[in-house]
Amino acid sequence: MAFTRSIDELIKNDKTGLLGKHPSWKRVKLSLIASILNGAPFESSKFSSSEGTPLIRIRDLLTGSTETFYIGEYQDTYLINKGDLLIGMDGDFNSCLWNGATGLLNQRVCKVTIETDLYDKTFVNLLLPGYLTSINEHTSSVTVKHLSSKTIGDIDLPLPPRKEQTRIVEKLEELLPQLDAGIAELQAAQKKLTQYRQSLLKAAVEGQLTADWRKRNVPTEDGAQLLERILSERRSHWEAKQLAKFNEQGKKPPKGWQDKYPEPARPDTTNLPKLPEGWVWATIDQVSLHQRYGSSAKTNDDKSGVPVLRMGNIQDGSLDLSSLKYLPKEHHEFPDLLLKKNDVLFNRTNSYELVGKTAIYKGEPQTCSYASYLICITPSPLINPEGISFYINSLHGRRWIASVVTQQVGQANVNGSKLSSLSIPLPPKEEQDAISYIAQSSLQDASFLEEQIKTGISLLNKQRQNILRAAFAGELVPQDPNDEPASELLARIAAERAAKQVSKRVPAERNKATAVEPSGTTRRKRKEAS
């Protein structure tokens, strides 16, 4: 799966204005005015978190700092310095002028070296996001989107006069910092909300959130008693399914069929922390009736079908239903892959940062299925499913995911068997409900603030986009008729390059024509040296 359009099509159909230009400007392909260096596939076995040479990965582009180091040998070609123009080639296709320490260019990040006689590097860095975003929107993928260096080289940039570029950059550097500061302030508030959510989930799964509740309430049964009841109900559910299967097949249950019951995995409590009084550890396998992978069938946009939840629908511990795909109602995997209220959805495959996202299906849309990169956990009706979701989305859950995840190029995976063995805290049922009530109330308040912050960021980004649109249309600064058209400069540079190539070729051809056979000694030395 790849980029499905041409750059010309993107420019022609652009609605943002960020791919526009002044009528007097020409366009030039990035490959003609820049060299593109792809990052190297450094050995992951030589990665370090504390020593060696900084390694610049995709995740580092927007932060300008690295958390990974490389302790192996490398070529100086891949060293990146402050001010180098970089593009991330997976995910969101971000670009930046590197602002961190000197480091190594890792794979799936490329360095773009601009012909500075033709372009102001800052101007190009401001131009690129519009094109990269548009390319991203028209790049198909199953998991993570990929960007090729060929597509980058095909980007057809507007070419204002060099002096005009400088004036545009100076004006943008006057206008944009205030907007960017406002956006950064709101983003910092977003980050604090994320930290607040994590603190809240941590308090919930460790029992701190209901410490006062426990002083005032005595549950009807403790966690250990509840677990025994869950396990008994789980076995009964399995036996009922087996009997129904025998009945459907017209068979009499064979002798000893109940002995084939698959006992659920038990928790390994060796390194697990102490729980509040009345709580016990239990595995996902113990507290669920079953776990299933979703459908790999190709979905469509026909809203008359059954909605299919995908990994992008899981956001901040809840389901975002704003973007749905569908399968026909008569799809052969139905009704087995139709969700039930309180099913827990676990994102088994995604980027390293996002794998393991979890949310609960609460019955809306009324009939709904799920895609193959999700695992559906049907919990016992004797527990509150929020406890599973809270734990997996907490820092404790993230640490567990980090300990069991397997990584391939561009994606991370946690399989179903590992998920089944995950140990989660099991409080008494009444306390589970109290945790859910208190936590959900606070999380709803956080979500309300989050929406307000998002609205503010959106408004500032629109204002920023309007300024950039004017800049790239040649409307932000006055035109100067005395400026040398960049197209003339480009033609002159091309002619100079062609002349250099000719001057290099003529002596080479002359030497070739007059070359003599080297002596045997010389040949032998060359062979030895090779």
Domain 221-427 CATH class label: alpha beta
CB atoms within 10 A of CB 29: 13
Which residue, chain included where needed, has tokens 């307000």? 452
> Do 209 and 200 touch, CB atoms closer than 8 A?
yes
Structure tokens at 10: 């993107």
Q: What SS3 class is residue 53?
A: strand
DSSP state letters, 284-305: HHHHEEEEEE-B-S--BS-TTS
Give the pLDDT confidence score for residue 407 in this predicted structure: 87
> Do 93 and 132 touch, CB atoms closer than 8 A?
yes
DSSP 26: E
Q: What SS3 class is residue 139?
A: strand
Domain ranges within the chain, ordered by starting residue: 1-159, 221-427
Give the pLDDT confidence score for residue 505 in this predicted structure: 66
Domain 1-159 CATH class label: alpha beta
Residue 373's nearest CA partner among 299, 288, 262 is 299
Are the folds of 1-159 and 221-427 the same?
yes
Between CA 327 and CA 334 the distance in angstroms is 10
Does the model's pTM come out above 0.85?
A: no
CA dihedral 389, 394, 400, 402 (to 10 degrees): 110
Query: Which residues are CB-neighbours of 95 under 8 A, at least 6 positions away?
Result: 61, 85, 86, 87, 88, 125, 128, 129, 132
Strands (DSSP E) found in 134-245: 156-159
CA atoms within 13 A on the CB side of 252: 1
Give the pLDDT confidence score for residue 509 in this predicted structure: 59
- Which residue stretches of the chain have pLDDT < 70? 1, 409-410, 504-530
Between CA 148 and CA 367 the distance in angstroms is 39
Which residue, chain included where needed, has tokens 């943002």? 16
Backbone angles phi, psi at 369, to 5 degrees: -125, -170
Residue 529, exposed/middle/buried by CB under 10 A (0-12, 13-18, 19+)?
Answer: exposed
Structure tokens at 298: 């190709």
**CA angle 25–120–150, rounded 5-degree value:** 75
Residue 271's nearest CA partner among 387, 427, 423, 406 is 423
DSSP state letters, 82-119: TT-EEEE-BTT--EEE--S-SEEEBTTEEEEEE-TTT-
Q: What SS3 class is residue 347?
A: strand
Q: Residue-wise over 467-499: b if at least 16 C-beta within 10 A, else e? A: ebbbbbbbebbeeeeebebbbebbeeeeeeeee
Give the pLDDT confidence score for residue 206 in this predicted structure: 97
